[in-house]
Structure 1
């Protein structure tokens, strides 16, 4: 309840004028109750950001688990990410803009190594790539949804179009990487 109220205030007004007292008043709870859960505003903001990023990753993982094809895998993960950014991205963006709250400035960086560890073996197997190259391609491809999320927040294109564009770019880059990179770097057979 306290974190939800803080998120609402951050969406409406940003972080600059936020205080534990103000959050408590807005949530209809006493100042002492807020301090019982959070010893500082910074602690509350860090916990809120962590909650938001965990929820985002959880939704992406659930979406990935539901996929039966590689395209579905990419589409499901991308859709989950962009939908979350559309609904909660402003909170994440404002919290990550505060250096004392977050050392990362991109939602795709949260839990990234775990996500890459989960996806890279699928990329390696599906595209018959060496694991080190599949890992690199997977990690680098995280930049596309991140850019798509920023673009979505600027409201220049509907979510569905951005999703289609992003999925096409991810699939195209990995497919082309498999065809082009390996062929160009393979030793000549003389």
Structure 2
């Protein structure tokens, strides 16, 4: 009596969007661990479980993959910030929620934050422009928020205030890396103590 061996089941192909998301997640980790210059496409491909040519098929180059990581990190930061401030009843509460969302982000998405803050090693590349675009994104969000809650009769002052908030929070976030015992809630209050005193004058005009 003969038996017919069953052919092995074919592995289901991962949808392109899901595979791309997987590649970005792994690349983000490798770039954060090794730094952009030392990171290799070979290691990223091995960790993902794909061939190196497939990485190039999706992103064209190592720099293209880095740009995809930065853009994803920027989109995630924008989403958490916008969701945090939605429906805030006052300018003060909106600022507090937005700051808290940012400090939670850098704590929970350390690898993404590492990519966004190490722009000095990327000067002269498209990545430097993407990182500056992230900074500008946050500035525009804050300026829009101020325009909705505070006196916006002087748009130049509003933009200058937004730049100050972003720059100050960026430096505070870097400082927090050496003070991991501090919670996002504590750091938010530190920032509010310094920032809101000046912004409050605009709210009361």
TM-score (norm 1): 0.79
- The answer (yes or no) to whether the contact 1:5–1:26 under 8 Å persists in 2 is yes
**Contact 1:120–1:131 (Cα < 8 Å) also in 2:** no
CA contact (8 A) 1:92 1:107 kept: no
Select 2:196's aligned residue among 171, 177, 182. Answer: 171
Checking the alignment, whether the CA contact within 8 Å between 1:24 and 1:31 is kept in structure 2 is: yes
Question: Rg larger in 1 or in 2?
Answer: 2
| Change beyond 3 A, Cα 1:108–1:154 | farther
The range that moved more, 4-13 or 71-80, is 4-13
Change in 2 beyond 3 A, CA 1:157/1:105: farther
Structure 2: state its 5+ residue gaps.
1-21
**Contact 1:121 1:134 (8 Å CA) reproduced:** yes
Deviation digits for residues 124-175 of structure 1, max 9, x if unmatched?
Answer: 34xxx52323343333332222222111122265033211110221211212
Shift, 1:48, TM fit: 0.7
Aligned partners of 1:93, 1:3: CA distance in 2, in Å? 18
Structure 2 contact 81–102 (Cα < 8 Å) conserved: yes
* Deviation for aligned residue 1:10: 2.1
**Stretches (4+) displaced over 4 A:** 104-108, 176-179
SS of match in other structure, 1:102: helix
RMSD over equivalenced CA pairs, Å? 2.6
Q: Residue in 2 aligned with 1:53?
A: 74
Q: CA deviation at 1:33?
A: 1.6
Offset at residue 24 of structure 1 (A): 0.6
Separation in 2 of the partners of 1:19 and 1:2? 13
Structure 1 residue runs without a partner (length 5+) = 183-190
Q: Does 1:121 align with 2:142?
A: no
In structure 1, the partner of 2:28 is 7
Q: Greater CA deviation, 46-55 or 16-25?
A: 16-25
- Alpha-carbon distance in structure 1 between the residues aligned to 2:171 and 2:41: 33
Q: Aligned in 2, Cα 1:106/1:156: closer, same or farther, shift over 3 Å?
A: farther
Task: Give 1:96 shift.
Answer: 6.1
Count of aligned pairs? 177
Partners of 1:156 and 1:25 in 2: how far apart?
32
2:175 alignment counterpart: 151
Following superposition, the deviation at residue 112 of structure 1 comes to 3.9
